[in-house]
Structure 1
């Protein structure tokens, strides 16, 4: 690398990150270290308890691995909406949508008729975003934080092209309101799925666990910039 090259990349990354916060973003979190790295990264992206009055949070849970309560410990309940989705089994068993098991927040979504497909799930998330806007008025950039955990059950149930179409619609919807959304895909960064889905996102964040703690490496989709490994 030419002298000053790393400094230039760091500056480019800092500028791009600031831009993502100003206009909202969609981030894909990858890497197999789920408990050790994905959860700490998710907590950071959702915002700390000290930001309770500044942030609204929407958590979409598809696998039930991490409850909303454990992920959002200390966060004011009125800032949180949860949507729990259980994908239908092949053959037609019903999916379920309702409040998180932990009952996080008075703003939790009430149980209703199950969505039969991904389009209905996307519509239900759109409705939850509309509810946040109705309560808060026009949202400031990055005021709404969205966590989708995880994409694995959808990819196990539906064809890749169906999931791609679903994510294309959902990332467009969250960008429209300037939300900062992140999606968990706990597979190795070189998995072909990552390459397929990456163009839909502003950045791919590779996560890993080390003896010194969780680390992250960002790849900005538009800037062709890859950072060094950084603490989460």
Structure 2
């Protein structure tokens, strides 16, 4: 697959470095929850053989995003679900997940400080040091957090969590279901190592913009 400005090998080396050193990704695009869930599953390490310690922060869309991201875990894996905002617990309870998911903690809408503490406490609770790429964080609720807590609190919480995950050489991704030119996307973009745009054509496609490398990929199917 051709990547604008880089060869395939160079682009893959950059992605591998983000995995080894720790990174935080902003996932944007107004796509259905199921499309986002497919991309998120890959960012959580689906198909990898190494153990993964996953922390998911989910909201009212959990009914459509959870089923393909949690469930059966391999030996050494763990999934921790934190619900955030109005109707989040109901959405998790109604999700078609086997075995059923019991949220680790619930954070009320608008409480950015509590959300940050809940995630950090869970990371602290994991036993021992993480291998590169072992810790994975996915936060689905940036839009409701912006709507209820405001820009400053959201910015600070995203910065705090991103830096912690990088320090553990993990990988975080945060969903904001807005187009790339959205004002909130532009506001938060400097906090991230890359922006991943999603769109739905004949398939779900992604396009990566790597901030420090000044590289933008072609649109590529998730099936590629």
Whether the aligned pair in 2 keeps the contact of 1:122 and 1:170 (CA below 8 Å) is yes
The change in CA–CA distance for 1:7 and 1:43 in structure 2 (over 3 A counts) is same
Q: Which has the larger radius of gyration?
A: 1
Q: Distance in 2 between matches of 1:159 and 1:6?
A: 35
TM-score by length of 1: 0.80
Cα deviation, residue 97, structure 1: 8.0
1:27 aligned to which of 15, 19, 25: 25
Indicate the residue corresponding to 2:51 in structure 1. 54
Q: Distance in 1 between matches of 2:199 and 2:107?
A: 38
Q: How does 1:81-160 map to 2 (within 5 A)?
A: 81-86=80-85, 100-101=92-93, 110-111=104-105, 117-132=111-126, 134=127, 137-160=128-151
1:181 aligned to which of 172, 183, 187: 172
Indicate the residue corresponding to 1:40 in structure 2. 38
Cα deviation, residue 47, structure 1: 2.1
**109-118 or 220-229, which deviates more:** 109-118
Indicate the residue corresponding to 2:70 in structure 1. 72
Whether the aligned pair in 2 keeps the contact of 1:39 and 1:71 (CA below 8 Å) is yes
The change in CA–CA distance for 1:128 and 1:105 in structure 2 (over 3 A counts) is farther
TM-score by length of 2: 0.83
1:225 aligns with 2:215: yes
Whether the aligned pair in 2 keeps the contact of 1:150 and 1:184 (CA below 8 Å) is yes
Cα deviation, residue 112, structure 1: 7.1
**Number of aligned residues:** 217
What stretches of structure 2 of length at least 5 have no aligned partner?
none
Per-residue CA distance 1:126-178 (angstroms, 9 max, x = gap)? 0111112x2xx110111011111121111111221221111111111111111
Whether the aligned pair in 1 keeps the contact of 2:41 and 2:68 (CA below 8 Å) is no
Cα deviation, residue 56, structure 1: 1.3
Cα deviation, residue 41, structure 1: 0.4
Cα deviation, residue 76, structure 1: 4.3
Cα deviation, residue 99, structure 1: 11
Give the match's secondary structure for 1:71: coil
**C-alpha RMSD of the superposition:** 3.2
